[in-house]
């Protein structure tokens, strides 16, 4: 079986469509999403609708929570606040109800699924460095914990109490090892590579693979401008920052 892993779509329909097509082409029958469907981009309802048509396991992200008023606005920078307020007005009742059903952690799956950190899912910590990642391993027991939130892909492996960052885009999951995997961002990558990101886990081969895919950035960026959202949100898509 193949599982698609995605996060941080941020209302970017162009990027999400490319990713979902790629996951389908690769025969993924299930998709895990680490949250933040909305915020920043111009197509929140469309992204929610598209995701709902998938066989999906999904958790709540901080921007989703911000739109629902479950995380106060002062947690966000000015640009993010503007996008949250815009999204709140834009979302249909149906979309809001869907977001409202999401939990911070999914306990029903063989993976630990959370948006920001297993340590404190509702506190929205940023796990950016190896020491920060190492600290998180005491807060999950399953072999694999998948996260998003930073929009920067990161894989840390623990084997016999030894920790290392895995830089490769493809690697095998070792038995007895634990992994903290940031799957990167679909709709607003921040690692300097503007291409959209998704991952695939092949449960039979135990092979984990990260893909970067071109998408129509121009169209997504233009819609952000037309929606009256902050200009910087449109510009940053071209740089992946």
Residues in region 67-106 near Zn ion by CB under 5 A: none
Q: What minimum distance in Å lies between the beta carbon of 28 and Zn ion?
A: 22
Convert the chain into a string of H (helix), E (strand) and C (coil).
CEEEEECCCCCCHHHHHHHHHHHHHCCEEEEEECCCCCCCCCCHHHHHHHHHCCCEEECCCHHHHHHCCCCCHHHCCHHHHHHHHHHHHHCCHHHHHHHHCCCCEECCCCCEEECCCCCCHHHCCCCCCHHHHHHHHHHCCCCEEEECCCCCCEEEEEECCEEEECCCCEEECCCCCEEEEECCCCCCCCCCCCCEEEEEEECCCCEEEEEEECCCHHHHHHHHHHCCCCHHHHHHHHHCC
Q: What minimum distance in Å lies between the beta carbon of 8 and Zn ion?
A: 4
Annotate each residue in 25-64 with x if it binds Zn ion (CB under 5 A) or - if it does not, as one string: -----------x----------------------------
Q: What minimum distance in Å lies between the beta carbon of 51 and Zn ion?
A: 15
Q: What minimum distance in Å lies between the beta carbon of 115 and Zn ion?
A: 8
157 binds Zn ion (CB under 5 A): no
Residue placing its CB nearer to Zn ion in the complex, 14 or 36: 36
Residue placing its CB nearer to Zn ion in the complex, 102 or 173: 102
With CB under 5 A as the contact rule, the residue among 8, 64, 106, 157 that binds Zn ion is 8
Which residues of the shown chain bind Zn ion in the complex (CB under 5 A)? 8, 36
């Amino acid at each position: 079986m193949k599982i698609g892993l995605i996060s941080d779509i941020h209302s970017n329909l162009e990027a999400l469509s490319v990713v979902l097509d790629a996951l389908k082409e690769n025969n993924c029958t299930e998709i895990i999403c680490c949250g933040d469907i909305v915020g920043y981009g111009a197509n929140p309802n469309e992204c929610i609708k598209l995701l709902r048509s998938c066989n999906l396991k999904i958790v709540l992200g901080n921007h989703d929570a911000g739109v629902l008023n479950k995380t106060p606005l002062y947690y966000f920078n000015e640009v993010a606040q503007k996008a949250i307020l815009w999204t709140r007005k834009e979302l249909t009742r149906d979309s809001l109800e869907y977001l409202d059903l999401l939990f911070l952690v999914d306990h029903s799956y063989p993976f630990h699924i959370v948006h920001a950190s297993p340590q404190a899912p509702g506190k929205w910590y940023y796990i950016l460095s190896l020491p920060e990642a190492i600290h998180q391993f005491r807060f999950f027991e399953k072999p694999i914990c998948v996260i998003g939130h930073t929009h920067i892909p990161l894989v840390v492996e623990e084997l016999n109490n030894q920790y290392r960052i895995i830089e490769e885009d493809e690697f095998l999951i070792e038995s007895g090892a634990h992994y903290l995997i940031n799957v990167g961002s679909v709709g607003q990558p921040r690692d300097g590579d503007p291409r959209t990101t998704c991952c695939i886990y092949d449960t039979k081969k135990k092979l984990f693979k990260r893909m970067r895919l071109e998408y129509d950035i121009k169209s997504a960026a233009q819609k952000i401008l037309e929606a009256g959202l902050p200009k910087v949100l449109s510009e940053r898509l071209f740089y992946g920052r």
